[in-house]
Chain A
């Protein structure tokens, strides 16, 4: 890797590392043991301005509903960037000790990056502890700390499934594969029958897809990490199985390896180069607007399985709302994060108008949501398919405290090896080494699997 790049990311991460303290600005809120109803009511009647940084399009709708319910509170929405830019902006402001938002959009995989620096407010005392029963178990596990802290309120999720071209399947007599083994056979048969078509595309630089695949296979590479102790095992049998599977198909040339969400990939999806897209619950609506020319030809199905007869899925994407402990208005901020993600009207609008796939049990069972028939999928009730998949996601998957670095290293090692026909299993070892090296450099105690 380019040494300058490493140095720069090293610097950025050092700023966010556990050893860096906010030297100036506000002091963090220490969450009280319990906040009474009366205190909450009083705070919600006090005129307050909240800063909320998010990238969710149309979130103004939920904000308006909140402001209607609590007229004393004004919420200023800042939508500056998504992903890396968003987090860089937040980290800088947190480091400065002022200028950070009260509430922010945070992906599940980034929650540990903000708990390790001790910047998230435990929302339990503000009523979040009682919300557990409203959310799907595995989702709640994603935002829960080791001692039951609630670090953020889930907003949307991405249980993984498979979108497939029913017309291509029919033309070549392919059954929807129930196992990955059947999937591999179908990939070979299809590509032989029509060399222009691939059963699917493996996106080599899409670390989130790979993480979701590990999740489905039962690999939990960072399980047991806590605080400054990091456990890493990306070379487990399950991880190896996933890697060998995709590397094998790519080497045979029966799946393509185009970078996803690129011009080339959009074109290919419209042209019918890929017969399936292994994606997540947000995929169906996304595809609908970007591959409009293929309307009516797609269907949704659960992922193929590693063991016959099983039903297990991973998750790819989705996000939460967290409250930073530098906030001056912890009660109002916490109530806001809870309100927009649990109020029935707010969440219904998110699911049916903004097309965010819901994490709440109520919506996943709501016939108005699951019964939506999408023309793009030949009138199939796609939400129902993904709602069922959501029940099969394993609750055991832990994210590392520096997921962006882990992603970058994945692309440079395993992703590249699969795309270029290198030794992908050896690349898993490289990935492991890089993660361990980086973690040690950042002051973590690393425990590697033998």
Chain B
């Protein structure tokens, strides 16, 4: 089934005439639905891009979804990076550190765990896996407070570890996904042949079977990257030192200043808007970059068996 879908995908993309023949199958309702969905997701993005080009005055007095007369994008970007002694650049760097470290570490753990669950039979395999599934149902926000208590006991609050360690371990979806993927993508015969050749389990994993998991690794990594990048609550309660804030906490802080009842709040509003735009660019880049591995991987994976 998946094979045929994949084939249709590949032929469809390169053979436009074939698609034209299929025209009557198009559903108007579906098209409208998809356009509406696309608009729903893209309009806020458009708003963000447009709003980033405006001064505070224009922001509140001109139409939200179209540009005002003058373009202030570059002034806004410059101001965003200059404000509070260049705090924004530091926040971006912190977010990058937390997200990349958590994604690399978390993906590695998920790969080990998922592969283990999929390919080894041991007592409690099922029970432990069910536990992982159960953990998926617990919102990570609810875990933030117990995590704080643990880290507070260990004296690790207000350090980068307080973000990286929990982020590495708190995405059971990655483990779940790796297990499902390893189950179908890694043939038992491959492991057996590795054993016959005298390779140990770790060697088989790192040099043979692990490579088959690359597409899944890309997916899980992307997922964790986004999760950690966007995480607000955990760093909010863990960190006090402004030099450690990731971009989410930093921007929320600026937004607080902007909406705070006090004085010259107008200054912060364009910074929050432009900062939000800049802060999603790394994610967009990561998506474009990793998506390649992801889609080609899924296709090749499904054709294999």
Residues of A within 8 A of B (CB): 4, 8, 11-12, 15, 24-25, 51, 53, 55-58, 78-83, 85, 88-89, 92-93, 95-99, 156, 158, 261, 263, 266-267, 269-271, 282, 285-286, 289-293, 317, 353-356
Contact = CB atoms under 8 A, between A and B. Distances in A.
Contact of B259 (A92, A261, A270): A261
B224 to A, nearest CB: 23
A158 B261 contact: yes
A282 B153 contact: no
A292 B253 CA distance: 23
A79 B253 contact: yes
A80 B237 CA distance: 9
A82 B57 CA distance: 24
A4 B149 CA distance: 23
A270 B60 contact: yes
B256 interface: yes
Contacts of B263: 57-58, 285, 289, 353-355
Given A269-B60, A270-B61, A4 B257 contact: no
Given A80-B253, A266-B60, A356-B261, 16 more contacts: A4-B139, A15-B145, A24-B153, A51-B240, A80-B236, A85-B232, A85-B236, A95-B145, A95-B149, A261-B259, A282-B262, A285-B262, A286-B261, A286-B265, A289-B264, A356-B262
Contacts, number: 118
Contacts of A286: 261, 265
B152 interface: yes
A354 B264 CA distance: 8
A58 B84 CA distance: 12
Interface string B136-167: 00010110110011001100011000000000
Contacts of B257: 55, 57
A245 to B, nearest CB: 26
Contacts of B265: 57, 286, 289-290
List the 3 closest pairs (A to B, CB-CB), nearest first.
A82-B256, A289-B266, A282-B261
B149 A96 contact: yes
Contacts of A355: 261-263
Nearest to A8: B142
B79 interface: no
Contacts of A98: 152
Contact of B249 (A81, A282, A285, A289): A81
Nearest to A286: B261
B233 interface: yes
B236 A89 contact: yes
B252 interface: yes
A63 to B, nearest CB: 15
Interface of B: 56-57, 59-61, 64, 139, 141-142, 144-145, 148-149, 152-153, 157-158, 232-233, 236-237, 239-242, 245, 249, 252-253, 256-257, 259-266, 269
Nearest to A318: B261
Contacts of B245: 80
A4 B138 CA distance: 10
A88 B236 contact: yes
Nearest to B266: A289
A387 B12 CA distance: 73
A105 B232 CA distance: 21
Nearest to A51: B240
Contact of B242 (A79, A97, A267): A79
Contacts of B253: 79-81
B261 A263 contact: no
Contacts of A55: 256-257, 260
Nearest to B61: A270
Chain B binding site: helix, strand, loop or mixed by DSSP?
helix
Contacts of B239: 80
Contacts of B242: 78-79
Contacts of A270: 60-61
28 contacts: A8-B142, A11-B142, A56-B260, A57-B262, A57-B265, A58-B263, A78-B240, A78-B242, A79-B242, A80-B245, A82-B256, A85-B232, A85-B233, A89-B236, A89-B237, A92-B148, A93-B237, A97-B152, A99-B158, A263-B60, A266-B60, A267-B61, A267-B64, A282-B261, A289-B56, A289-B265, A317-B261, A354-B263
A390 to B, nearest CB: 15
Nearest to B64: A263
B148 A81 contact: no
Nearest to B148: A92
Most chain B beta-carbon contacts within 10 A, residue among A56, A271, A290: A290
A355 B263 CA distance: 5
Contacts of A53: 240
A93 B237 CA distance: 8
Contact of A267 (B60, B236, B237, B249): B60
Contacts of A290: 56, 60, 265-266, 269
A288 to B, nearest CB: 9
Contact of B240 (A11, A80, A85, A88): A80
Given A270-B61, A356-B262, A81 B145 contact: no
A211 to B, nearest CB: 16
Nearest to B249: A80
Contacts of A58: 262-263
A83 B60 CA distance: 24
A98 B256 CA distance: 26
Contacts of A57: 257, 260, 262-263, 265
Nearest to A288: B266
Contacts of A95: 145, 149
Nearest to A158: B261
Contacts of B61: 267, 270-271, 293
A96 B144 CA distance: 12
Nearest to A79: B253
Contacts of A12: 145
A285 B142 CA distance: 38
A89 B152 CA distance: 13
Contacts of A78: 240-242
Nearest to B265: A289
Contacts of B148: 92-93, 96
- Find the residue from A8, A58, A99 having the highest chain B CB count within 10 A: A99
Nearest to B141: A8
A374 to B, nearest CB: 12
A393 B139 CA distance: 43
Nearest to A292: B57
B66 to A, nearest CB: 13
